Amino acid sequence: MKVTINDVAKHAGVSIKTVSRVTNNEPSVKQVTIDKVNSAIKALNYQPNLAARNLAGTKSYVIGFIYDNPNAYYIIDMQNGILSACKDLGYELLIHPCNSTAANICKELTDLVKHNRLSGLVLTPPLSEDPVILAALDEIDANYVRIIAGEKVDTNNGLAVLVNDRSGAISITQHLIDLGHKHIAFLSGDHEHASTKERLAGYKQALTNNQLSINDDFIIDGKYSFESGVQGAKDLLKQRTRPTAIVACNDEIAAGALFAARLEGVDIPAEISIVGFEDSPFSRQTWPKLTTVHQPNEEIAHIATELLIAKRKDKPAQLGKVFLPEPVIRDSTTQVRG
């Protein structure tokens, strides 16, 4: 019933180690032999047993996805991207939601890696940006790829996929400036996320690029949540000079700002334009539909996983890749009123 490596070896007339060499792309096998083995594998529909590989070998063929993020859309996209890369490369995925601020988070993660002998980890913010956690993982020599906000790949990053949030923020802010807005506010996300810092920097950069002054009253501290968006927008609307546009640090905050505007009877976009960041599905389900910045999360996760697995195969080490988020113009932004 079950086809094992022994069956393949017998069928191909070679030893099991040779079959193992072929399935693992190891050197020292003649092409003729490789072909013999491969056709035996195909003929018998052989699939290596993961548990046995795991037990005998040093690689587990299992990668872990570690996250601490309440954004379901983001997580699902990431999972799907990782999963598609895993499927292509014969790996399996272990998902591990966690609390990055838990006291024992380092032990939790290192135990996870050790107990499951994980081949690698995909880390998302804020875990991917926490030096204490990274140090703990380095100590046990764990493989990981970080998904982080940043502008260019460099060796200090380790293996990383960068999302250039700054450039995305510059583009979307420029979009507002191009519409004639001069009083543009910023609703920030959690400060533990580097993305918040980068998006804020991009917002400021765009203002500066256009000789617009930076008004500190227009930069509101907050968190990556709907409620924070509601509160932040309320605060903005109370000010003597109201902004004519708001850059929200993500779509949820933007949705909260939309909500607050409605509470105060402010029409969006006629009176105030609002933009989000992320292009999550619900940015298409608000009224009006949100202008936002698109991040190809599934692709980001796919590439990250490929990098991670490639590293283990000792291929020419590619250190990372940078993604440029692009604006998506919908209905929550318009020309500033004369």
Partner DNA sequence: GCCATAAGATATAACGATATAGTGCGAAGT
Partner DNA sequence: ACTTCGCACTATATCGTTATATCTTATGGC
Q: Which residues bind DNA (CB under 7 A)?
A: 2-6, 13-21, 23-24, 27-30, 32-33, 46-49, 52-53, 55-59
With CB under 5 to 8 Å by kind, the binding choice for 30 among DNA, a second copy, none is DNA
Given candidates 55, 132, 214, 329, which one binds a second copy under the rule CB under 8 A?
Answer: 55
Interstrand relation of 273-275 and 245-248 (parallel, antiparallel or unpaired) = parallel
Is 259 a binder of a second copy (CB under 8 A)? Answer: yes
What's the min distance (Å) between Cβ of 86 and a second copy?
A: 11
DSSP 8-state class, residue 213:
P
Q: Which does 90 bind (CB under 5 to 8 A by kind): a second copy, DNA, none?
A: none
Dihedral (C-alpha) 156, 304, 136, 55: value to the nearest 10 degrees? Answer: -130
* Residue 79 binding partner per list a second copy, DNA, none, with a CB distance cut-off of 5 to 8 Å that depends on partner kind: a second copy
Residue 15, contacted partner among a second copy, DNA, none, CB below 5-8 A by kind: DNA
Residue 38 binding partner per list a second copy, DNA, none, with a CB distance cut-off of 5 to 8 Å that depends on partner kind: none
The CA dihedral of 153, 154, 158, 163, to the nearest 10 degrees, is -20
- Is 272 a binding residue for a second copy by CB under 8 A? The answer is no
Residues numbered 150 to 189 that lie near a second copy (CB under 8 A) are none
Residue 42 interface partner, choices DNA, a second copy, none, CB cut-off 5-8 Å depending on type? none
If binding is defined by CB under 8 A, does position 95 make contact with a second copy? yes
Q: Considering the rule CB under 8 A, would residue 295 count as an interface residue with a second copy?
A: no
Is residue 210 involved in binding a second copy (CB under 8 A)?
no
In the complex with a second copy, the residue whose CB is nearer, 187 or 206, is 187
Under rule CB under 8 A, residue 98 binds a second copy? no
CA distance 318 to 206: 32
CA distances from 116 to 53, 55, 255 (A): 13, 10, 40
Write b or e for each residue in 141-159: b if 16 or more Cβ atoms lie within 10 A of its Cβ, otherwise e. ebbbbbbbbbeebeeebbb
Q: Which phi and psi angles does 274 have, rounded to 5°?
A: -130, 135
- Going by C-alpha positions, the residue among 333, 165, 314 that lies closest to residue 249 is 165
Binding of a second copy at residue 281 (CB under 8 A)? yes
Helix (H) or strand (E) holding 235: helix 226-238
Question: Residue 137 or residue 184: which is nearer to a second copy going by CB?
Answer: 137
Residues 101-120 that bind a second copy (CB under 8 A): 115-117
Give the other-Cβ count within 10 Å of 100's Cβ. 20
| DSSP assignment of 110-156 | HHHHHHHT-SEEEE-TTGGG-HHHHHHHHHTT--EEEEEE-SS--GG
Work out whether 300 is an interface residue with a second copy (CB under 8 A): no
Closest CB 115 distance from a second copy, rounded Å: 6
16's contact among a second copy, DNA, none, with CB below 5 to 8 A by partner kind, is DNA
User: How far, in Å, CA of 92 to CA of 98, rounded?
Assistant: 19
> Which residues inside 74-93 make contact with a second copy, applying CB under 8 A?
75-76, 79-80, 83, 92-93
Q: Are strands 326-328 and 292-294 parallel, antiparallel or unpaired?
A: antiparallel
Site membership for a second copy, residue 253 (CB under 8 A): no
Give φ, ψ of 102 to 5 degrees. -60, 150
Q: Are 229 and 186 in contact (CB under 8 A)?
A: no
Residues that bind a second copy (CB under 8 A): 47, 49-52, 54-55, 60, 72-73, 75-76, 79-80, 83, 92-95, 97, 115-117, 226, 252, 255-256, 258-259, 262, 281-282, 284-287
